[in-house]
Amino acid sequence: MNHIDDSAELYALGALDDLERRRIDAHVATCAPCARLLGDAELAVTHAIEADPQYEPSLALRSRLAGSLEAMQPKARRAPQAGWIAIAAAFAILALPTGFLARDYMVMHAYIASDQMLMQKMANGSLASATFQPMKPSMPAMSAHVMYAKSGDFYAVVVKHPMRSLQVAYVRPDGTMETIGKLEMQGDMGVAVMPIDHKMLKLALIDGGDVVAEANLAFD
Amino acid sequence: MSSTHADDPTLERAFAARERWAFDEAYARFSGLLYSAAYNVLHAREDAEDCVHDALLRVWNNPSAYSTERGTLRSFLAVCVRNAAISRIRATQTRAGAQRRAGVEPEAEFVEFPDVIEQSRLRTAIAALPDEQREPLLLAYYGYKTHVQIADALATPLGTIKSRIAQAVRKLGHAMQPGAAT
């Protein structure tokens, strides 16, 4: 992605949609000059936030936050394999008919084990999956799936034996597309994990500008 | 380390390193600001608390969300919570629109254009902006519009709107700095 330029002020002001904001989050995580630019814009907007009427939250919010943090942390300390089992179980239920192996679950786990919220999401079963369908019958068979949160804030695409490193794109309702991730090769699998907070009804796999497969997603 | 007397840079480094005491301390210092940022958008106590709760957990569980290069933790969290609140209100507007299209009345319509600027310095700073910068700034900050919606509403090219909003925010930042003449 290019540097963020004027988008820093739009981000800080709340004038970007979720997808655009996620892209900037991803960029500033690896670009210190843009992170500083965004920080300056956030400071400017915070002056306006401070000038708005000020209120205090209830005391219950502090306890609720503490409880949520505690609920996540002990699980990881006491039973480091519990998350793996939850993921394996979730993906087994969702993807077993398509032939995913235990080794595949481990690849997924390597990507997402550090994310406690995601682990919790998987453990409580708030996930769904969809299969990518090739766009042309002549295309080589490719086992490709997306596992996603029903809340629309997480997507993981797994492709077995991809022809090469494919890109993942969001297909907007008007048919336009936006690249949101790229498969990273793990052995014979390509994986893209995308914590994007947007309910995307259609995803596409892109190879050199061509759509090779599409998946339709459903949300509650 | 665990300290309630840490200076801001120490707290920021600890928060970036995800030391648990830093989460508690950040909440203790900034909870009023964060809750206000959410409440002033959502105008509902329970929604605002949900928003602060979810936004803070999301930041805490994403190790790359905050780095000290990003600037002050206070402004990072304030903008993060406010953006989360704006996302919620946009989702509500989308649902309400879908319900109207389906012939179902939404439970409540709570989107309103609040009585803006209370504080004189902010009022002065915004009043000093040229009309072409002030209007998109107000539509974004108080109307929760995206830059695309603002460009449509003002029938102005997107690039021009982006540039005008950016200039307006920069001017606002300079004017609101401690000691700046207004």
Rounded CA-CA distance A74/A178 in Å is 39
ipTM of the complex in this document: 0.86
Q: Among candidates B119, B172, B162, B112, which has minimal Cα distance to B142?
A: B112
Q: What is the pLDDT of residue B49?
A: 94
Which chain B residue's Cα is nearest to A20? B146
Residue A62 near chain B (CB below 8 Å): yes
Segment 64-83 of chain B within 8 Å of chain A by CB: 64-65, 67, 69-72, 74-76, 78-79, 82-83
> Hunting for tokens 């007397």 — which residue is that?
B5
Which residue ranges in chain A fall short of pLDDT 50? 74-86, 92-93, 96-101, 103, 107, 110-111, 113-115
Query: Would you say A40 and B175 are in contact if contact means Cβ atoms under 8 Å apart?
Result: no
The set of residues, in sequence order, having a beta carbon less than 8 Å from that of B82 and lying 6+ positions away, is A14, A45, A49, B37, B38, B41
Residue A43 near chain B (CB below 8 Å): yes
Q: What is the pLDDT of residue A6?
A: 83
Q: Among candidates A143, A152, A156, A62, which has minimal Cα distance to A115?
A: A156
Alpha-carbon distances of A56 from A47, B47, B63, B87, rounded to whole Å: 18, 14, 28, 22
Q: What is the pLDDT of residue A109?
A: 52
Residue A57 near chain B (CB below 8 Å): yes
- Provide the 10 A C-beta neighbour count for residue A78: 8
Strand partners, A185: A190
Query: Would you say A112 and A184 are in contact if contact means Cβ atoms under 8 Å apart?
Result: no
Mean pLDDT per 10-residue section of chain B, whose length is 182 residues: 73 92 94 95 93 93 87 96 94 59 40 47 89 94 94 95 95 82 54
Query: Would you say A158 and A129 are in contact if contact means Cβ atoms under 8 Å apart?
Result: no
**To the nearest whole angstrom, how far is the Cα of A58 from the nearest Cα of chain B?**
8
Q: What is the pLDDT of residue B96?
A: 54
Q: Which two tokens stand for residue B19?
A: 């030391």
The set of residues, in sequence order, having a beta carbon less than 8 Å from that of B148 and lying 6+ positions away, is A17, B158
Helix (H, G, I), strand (E, B) or coil at B42: helix
Chain B residues with CB under 8 Å of A28 CB are 70
Rounded CA-CA distance B70/B82 in Å is 17
Chain A residues with CB under 8 Å of B39 CB are 55
**pTM given for the model:** 0.62
